[in-house]
């Protein structure tokens, strides 16, 4: 719990990763490049008091989670899985590791599952049973991750899978959330931190070189259609609108920087679409004016009851983000454009909204409005 003056806040971090990107788990140079890019972003976004050492960042441990997240201001954390088995021998951040952490630190974590776009409908077999057995309360969908894997949100099988998983307990679906979420054209500048010193990155690609996929023990041939597929990023907002209307009981959570800002605002018309502020809160430090304007516009479009706090740990340690958000005031040039954020809205964003989505009990003094539903959706 975080407190300042007479105000109290229950904090639910809706995006935490427990990954292993250490050298022994990297399946070739692409895994190394992926971790190096994440660490570059960490050094830009989390500079105070000092960045994590490279080895501690590459491999998140129980001790690190306890010291940086749970022993700070975070009451509950939602663990987001990212397998990336093309880049890492044992997977980057699979759900099985999260389940072990939840057993070691009971009552502190919420578990979510993952739907891999590279496996298609075959990879979703038995997913509803895994949701029930593992008490998974959400699913992470990366619409694209590798050249051979594109997940169209208009697929009929995806609609059936999400409906079955919702009935089994996974009522939240994450899109464009995670350290590997690609940025499509037109996405806001604050969503991607600039290279150190403001100069363009002169050496190495931003993301892994998919032209040379490597698995443990064998080098796979280059995929023939890699160049064509690699150009596709993000997801189609029109397909998301149709999916959200067809599944009103599923709560869709989007990354604040996953779409061009104007497209994201239009999705606010759907009452089961929410926004995770991880990228935006980190951007308040590197591009304060642009990120503050985006925050005010998101509050106008979605309201305070559909925005969620997330740190992306270990990309950014949550304590600083919580303190900066609680004390946040709009820059002077924006104060006539947006009203200041009140205590109830900050309370909802920091913990109340995520607690409602993930069915986390809250203290009696913290009242949060119920989820909005489509007309005729039923109870």
pLDDT of residue 147 exceeding 60, the answer is no
Per-residue pLDDT tens over the stretch 176-222 = 777 756 566 667 767 655 554 443 333 444 444 443 334 344 444 43
Cβ-based neighbours of 376, under 8 Å, separated by 6 or more: none
Cβ-based neighbours of 320, under 8 Å, separated by 6 or more: 46, 48
Establish if 377 belongs to a structural domain. Answer: no
Establish if 378 belongs to a structural domain. Answer: no
Integer Cα distance of 150 and 142 in angstroms: 9
**Spatial CA neighbour of 141 closest among 166, 167, 116, 165:** 116
Establish if 131 belongs to a structural domain. Answer: yes
Question: Could you list the residue range(s) of the whole structural domain that residue 293 is in?
Answer: 10-196+225-357
Establish if 209 belongs to a structural domain. Answer: no
pLDDT of residue 223 exceeding 70, the answer is no
Give me the CATH number covering residue 240. Answer: 3.20.20.140
pLDDT on residue 258 = 83
pLDDT band at 224 (very low <50, low <70, confident <90, very high): very low
Establish if 212 belongs to a structural domain. Answer: no
Establish if 339 belongs to a structural domain. Answer: yes
In the chain, how many domains are there?
1
Task: Give me the residue label for tokens 């940086």.
Answer: 68
**Spatial CA neighbour of 266 closest among 291, 298, 292:** 298
Establish if 220 belongs to a structural domain. Answer: no
Phi, psi of 353 (to 5 degrees): -70, -45
Answer for the pair 109, 79: CB distance below 8 angstroms, yes or no: yes
Rg, the chain, Cα only: 20
Establish if 180 belongs to a structural domain. Answer: yes
Paired tokens of 283: 């951007």
């Amino acid at each position: 719990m975080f407190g300042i003056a007479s105000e109290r806040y229950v904090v639910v971090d809706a995006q935490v990763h427990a990954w292993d990107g250490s050298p022994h788990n990297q399946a070739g140079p692409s895994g190394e490049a992926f971790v190096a890019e994440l660490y570059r972003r960490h050094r830009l976004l989390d500079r105070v008091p000092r960045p994590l050492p490279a080895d501690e960042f590459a491999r998140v441990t129980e001790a690190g989670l306890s010291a940086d997240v749970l022993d700070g201001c975070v009451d509950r954390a939602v663990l987001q899985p990212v397998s990336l088995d093309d880049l890492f021998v044992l997977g980057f951040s699979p759900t099985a590791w999260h389940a072990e952490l939840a057993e070691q630190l009971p009552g502190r974590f919420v578990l979510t599952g993952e739907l891999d776009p590279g496996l298609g409908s075959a990879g979703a077999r038995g997913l509803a049973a895994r949701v029930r057995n593992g008490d998974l309360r959400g699913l992470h969908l990366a619409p694209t991750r590798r050249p051979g894997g594109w997940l169209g949100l208009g697929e009929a099988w995806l609609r059936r899978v999400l409906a079955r998983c919702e009935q089994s307990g996974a009522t939240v679906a994450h899109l464009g959330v995670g350290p590997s979420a690609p940025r499509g054209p037109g996405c806001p500048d604050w969503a991607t931190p600039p290279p150190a010193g403001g100069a363009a990155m002169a050496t190495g690609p931003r993301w892994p070189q998919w032209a040379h996929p490597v698995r443990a023990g064998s080098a796979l041939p280059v995929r023939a259609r890699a160049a064509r597929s690699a150009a596709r990023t993000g997801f189609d907002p029109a397909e998301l609108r149709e999916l959200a209307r067809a599944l009103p009981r599923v709560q869709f959570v989007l990354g604040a920087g996953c779409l061009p800002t104007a497209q994201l605002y239009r999705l606010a018309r759907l009452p089961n679409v929410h926004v995770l502020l991880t990228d935006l809160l980190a951007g308040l430090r590197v591009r304060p004016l642009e990120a503050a304007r985006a925050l005010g516009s998101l509050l106008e479009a979605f309201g305070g009851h559909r925005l969620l706090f997330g740190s992306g740990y270990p990309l950014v340690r949550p304590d600083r983000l919580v303190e900066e958000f609680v004390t946040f005031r709009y820059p002077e040039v924006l104060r006539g454009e947006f009203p200041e954020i009140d205590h109830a809205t900050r309370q909802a964003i920091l913990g109340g909204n995520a607690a409602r989505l993930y069915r986390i009990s809250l203290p009696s003094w913290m009242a949060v409005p119920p989820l909005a539903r489509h007309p005729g959706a039923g109870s």
